[in-house]
Amino acid sequence: MNESPKNGLTFADIQRYLGMLNEELKAKDITGELAVCGGAAMVLAFKARNSTRT
């Protein structure tokens, strides 16, 4: 896994990690829901900032 920038996770980082999680869960035939909150929600839903804060 690549290191994230010192200033947090970017939009692309979050999407990549969620995609990896999706693939792993799909391979195990697991379905469910995931709540995204805090800085990640701000980055993904509102594009309010370039990355999460550390």
Where do the structural domains in the chain lie, given as residue ranges? 11-46
Report whether 46 contacts 1 (CB < 8 A): no
Confidence check: pLDDT of 46 > 60 = yes
Q: pLDDT of 4-39, one tens digit each?
A: 456 788 899 999 999 999 999 999 999 999 999 988
- What is the C-alpha separation between 17 and 41, in angstroms, rounded? 14
